[in-house]
Amino acid sequence: MPTVEYLDGVLVRPSEARVSVFDRGFLYGDSVYEVVRTYGGRPFELAAHLARLRHSADRISLEPKWDASRTAAEIARTLEAARGGDAPDPLAAPWNVGERYVRVVMTRGAGEIGLDPALAVDPVAIVVVQPLHGPPARAYAEGIATAFAGVRRASPAAIDPTAKTGAHLPNVLAVQEARARGAQEAILLDERGAVTEGSSSNVFAVRGGRVATPPLAAGILEGVTRGVVLRLAREAGVATEEAPLRPEDLEVADEVFITSTVREIVPVTRLGAQAVGAGRPGPVTRRLHDAFRRRAGGPVSLQAPT
What residues line the site for ligand PDD (CB under 6 A)?
A: 35, 197, 200-202, 221, 223-226, 259-262
Nearest residue (CB) to ligand PDD, 188 versus 302: 188
Q: Is the Cβ–Cβ distance between 175 and 153 less than 8 Å?
A: no
Choose, from 49, 65, 164, 263, the residue flagged as catalytic.
164
Tell me the closest approach of the beta carbon of residue 78 to ligand PDD, in angstroms.
Answer: 17
The C-alpha atoms of residue 117 and residue 109 are separated, in whole angstroms, by 9
Q: Is residue 65 among the annotated active site residues? A: no
Pairing of strands 202-207, 255-260: antiparallel
Nearest residue (CB) to ligand PDD, 233 versus 262: 262
Nearest residue (CB) to ligand PDD, 214 versus 277: 214
Comparing C-alpha atoms, which of 297, 264, 298, 26 is closest to residue 166? 26
Beta strands in 190-285, from DSSP E residues, in sequence order: 195-198, 202-207, 210-213, 240-242, 255-260, 264-271, 274-275
Q: Which residue type is seen at 289?
A: H
Nearest residue (CB) to ligand PDD, 111 versus 285: 285
The C-alpha atoms of residue 240 and residue 223 are separated, in whole angstroms, by 16
Tell me the closest approach of the beta carbon of residue 55 to ligand PDD, in angstroms.
Answer: 12
Q: Is the Cβ–Cβ distance between 66 and 53 less than 8 Å?
A: no
Nearest residue (CB) to ligand PDD, 71 versus 201: 201
Tell me the closest approach of the beta carbon of residue 203 to ligand PDD, in angstroms.
Answer: 9
Q: What is the dihedral of CA 150, 156, 160, 161, to 10 degrees?
A: 40
Tell me the closest approach of the beta carbon of residue 306 to ligand PDD, in angstroms.
Answer: 27
Tell me the closest approach of the beta carbon of residue 161 to ligand PDD, in angstroms.
Answer: 8
Q: Is the Cβ–Cβ distance between 94 and 135 less than 8 Å?
A: no
Q: How buried is 304 (Cβ within 10 angstroms: 0-12 exposed, 13-18 middle, 19+ buried)?
A: exposed
| Positions marked active-site | 164
